[in-house]
């Protein structure tokens, strides 16, 4: 079963963008994959064009060997663009192999260890009213884990203005009140999306009573494990880190030094299912659970479900299309076959491969417009992280 062609489909879905990859074989079986490098899809398309000449004609079943060739087949190995390209192709190869054998992908990973994959709701809000309305609705609908994604900077007259100290004062008060409202049975976390520094993170946590939040996601940039290590000594709230990591090696210091308490890997960024399983095993040896990043669409969701089904150390999968908010990333016109939520979780199905289909005819007819992320600035005119 030889690889015959690799096709790329950058598309606009909802308010964002996705890159879907199709790997075709000479047997007629094909597989779908996706890249997680949001906003830089065309860079990943370029990387795949470099991979394509030496992949054509290779045995599509040799997933591990092809991963090694893609990763080591250039002098400048690794990096986020190459890893995102490898991820998409790797996921597609698992889809192919599952279909060829007539089994779901999780059977290729050791079989399922759970019947359902539990999810957390990603709650994006700009005002206190939105925070409470969305959160209370989700709790009423049976969601017991909420990950808050504040975008309070968008509600100001000067959109994109972000002053960390003002944000800290505002959000800490809101969270104290929200915890009182929803009680202690709901797991509550917040994603500060690398907008703070270490001192500001300590200040934010210290403004709230113990137990207000159950974890904080990526408050500072992740390039320096040493900075995170110092911060780990200052606060007791668990960290969840890793959605931007593009290899198992980036996870090593955060796992081995117990800096993070949840592994926030993205199967479409880290190197696909092949690399994700290695990260999962590393995390298991340190009693750390997976909390996969899942902001894209049904292919990323499906790959993450199969990963979660096959791993013992799994906690929650991110979900951005909930009863409170619909981000539109799972657009049925593009994905006529996809996994669907049953309340706050996905049932682990026995559909061969990933269990997803993509409308490539629609994608081929659609114009792609690259989407840029927001760019935040301070009142003095300097730029800061989004």
Radius of gyration of the chain (CA): 20
Please name each of the domains of the chain with its CATH number.
2-103 (3.30.390.10), 107-352 (3.20.20.120)
Output the pTM of the full model. Answer: 0.96
Tens of pLDDT along the chain (386 residues)? 999 999 999 999 988 999 999 999 999 999 999 999 999 999 999 999 999 999 999 999 999 999 999 999 988 888 999 999 999 999 999 999 999 999 999 999 999 999 999 999 999 999 999 999 999 999 999 999 999 999 988 877 888 899 999 999 999 999 999 999 999 999 999 999 999 999 999 999 999 999 999 999 999 999 999 999 999 999 999 999 999 999 999 999 999 999 999 999 999 999 999 999 999 999 999 999 999 999 999 999 999 999 999 999 999 999 999 999 999 999 999 999 999 999 999 999 999 999 999 999 999 999 999 998 888 999 999 999 98
CB 239 within 8 A of CB 216: yes
Residues 6+ apart with CB under 8 A from 51: 6, 70, 73, 85, 86, 89
Q: What are phi and psi of 87, to 5 degrees?
A: -55, -50
pLDDT at 156: 78
pLDDT at 95: 98
Instruction: Residue 41: name the closest of 372, 376, 276 by CA.
Output: 372
Please state whether beta strands 16-25 and 187-191 pair in parallel, antiparallel, or not at all (unpaired).
unpaired
Angle at CA of residue 164, ends 122 and 258, nearest 5°: 60
CB 126 within 8 A of CB 340: no
pLDDT at 158: 83
């Amino acid at each position: 079963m030889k690889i015959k062609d690799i096709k790329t489909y950058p598309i606009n879905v909802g308010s964002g963008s996705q890159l879907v990859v199709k790997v075709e074989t000479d047997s007629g079986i094909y597989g779908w994959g996706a890249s997680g490098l949001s906003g830089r899809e065309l860079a990943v398309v370029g990387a795949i064009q470099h991979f394509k000449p030496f992949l054509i004609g290779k045995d599509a079943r040799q997933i591990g060997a092809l991963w090694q060739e893609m990763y080591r087949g250039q002098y400048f190995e690794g990096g986020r663009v190459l890893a995102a390209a490898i991820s998409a192709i790797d996921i597609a190869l698992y889809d192919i192999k599952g279909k060829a054998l007539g089994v779901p992908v999780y059977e290729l990973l050791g079989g399922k260890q759970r019947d359902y994959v539990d999810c957390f709701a990603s709650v994006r809000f700009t005002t206190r009213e939105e925070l409470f309305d969305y959160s209370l609705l989700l709790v009423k609908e049976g969601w017991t884990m909420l990950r808050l994604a504040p975008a309070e900077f968008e509600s100001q007259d000067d959109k994109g203005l972000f002053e960390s100290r003002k944000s800290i004062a505002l959000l800490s008060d809101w969270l104290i009140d929200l915890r009182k409202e929803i009680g202690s049975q709901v797991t509550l976390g917040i994603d500060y999306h690398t907008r703070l520094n270490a001192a500001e993170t300590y200040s934010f946590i210290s403004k709230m009573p113990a137990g207000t939040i159950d974890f904080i996601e990526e408050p500072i940039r992740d390039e320096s494990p040493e900075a995170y290590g110092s911060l780990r000594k200052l606060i007791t709230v668990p960290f969840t880190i890793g959605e931007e990591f593009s290899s198992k090696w980036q996870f090593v210091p955060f796992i081995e030094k117990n800096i993070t308490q949840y592994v926030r890997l993205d199967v479409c960024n880290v190197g696909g299912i092949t690399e994700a399983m290695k990260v999962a095993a590393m995390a298991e040896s340190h009693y750390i659970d997976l909390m996969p990043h899942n902001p894209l669409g049904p292919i990323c969701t499906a790959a993450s479900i199969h990963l979660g089904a096959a791993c013992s150390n799994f906690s929650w999968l991110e979900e951005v299309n909930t009863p409170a908010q619909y981000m539109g990333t799972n657009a049925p016109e593009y994905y006529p076959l996809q996994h669907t939520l049953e309340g706050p979780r996905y049932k682990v199905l026995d559909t061969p491969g990933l269990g997803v289909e993509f409308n490539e005819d629609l994608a081929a007819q659609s114009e792609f417009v690259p989407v840029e992320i927001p760019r935040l600035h301070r009142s003095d005119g300097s730029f800061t992280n989004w």
